[in-house]
Amino acid sequence: MDQEFAPLDDTALSKAARWLAHANVRPTRQRLSLASLLVGDGQDRHVTAETLFLAAKSSGEAVSLATVYNTLRAFCEAGLMNEITVDATRSYFDTCVEDHPHYFWEDTQELTDAPSGAVSFSRLPDPPQGAEISRVDVVIRLRRL
């Protein structure tokens, strides 16, 4: 999965700072650098913790993989990202938090957006008593012919 990340420059850091401030997330140095890689160029991304870790290392940021995981989870808790689980061993983190389906390409292990209007549900099951549906994730798995 080859993905271009935003460069760590003043513009990207400024966008990242606004993104974090919008959700009242404290802008630590590591959060700012990871956020600038994620949203610094204004593009939505689907990343694993490992791909973000490698991008941070490539940009010269000294950050551990555990810190990347913790930061991504903090971004999810703040509503800045969604975690999309594709199997028992792999999750992707999506910077687009609007409801939308995804394609998962089995051969490249890549998660991409599917057209939003292409999936519809006529009914969802009633949740158990004392619970509410918070989100429905749709992952359409694709295999090349």
- What pLDDT score was predicted for residue 6? 67
**pTM beyond 0.75, yes or no:** yes
Residue type, 122: S
- What pLDDT score was predicted for residue 5? 80
Q: Which residues are paired to 19 by β-bridges?
A: none
Q: What DSSP designation does 118 have?
A: G
Residue 120: half-sphere exposure toward Cβ, Cα within 13 Å: 3
Long-range CB pairs of 83-88 (<8 Å, 24+ gap) are 84/46, 84/111, 84/137, 84/139, 85/137, 86/111, 86/139
Question: CA 93 to CA 97: how far, in whole Å?
Answer: 10
User: What are the backbone dihedrals phi and psi of residue 135, each rounded to the nearest 5 degrees, phi first?
Assistant: -170, 150
pLDDT in tens, the chain (145 residues): 446 786 678 888 899 999 999 999 999 999 999 999 999 988 899 999 999 999 999 999 889 999 999 999 999 999 999 999 998 889 999 999 998 999 999 999 999 999 988 888 889 999 999 999 988 899 999 999 9
Structural domain 10-142, CATH architecture: Orthogonal Bundle (1.10)
Domain coordinates of the chain in residue numbers? 10-142
- What pLDDT score was predicted for residue 1? 44
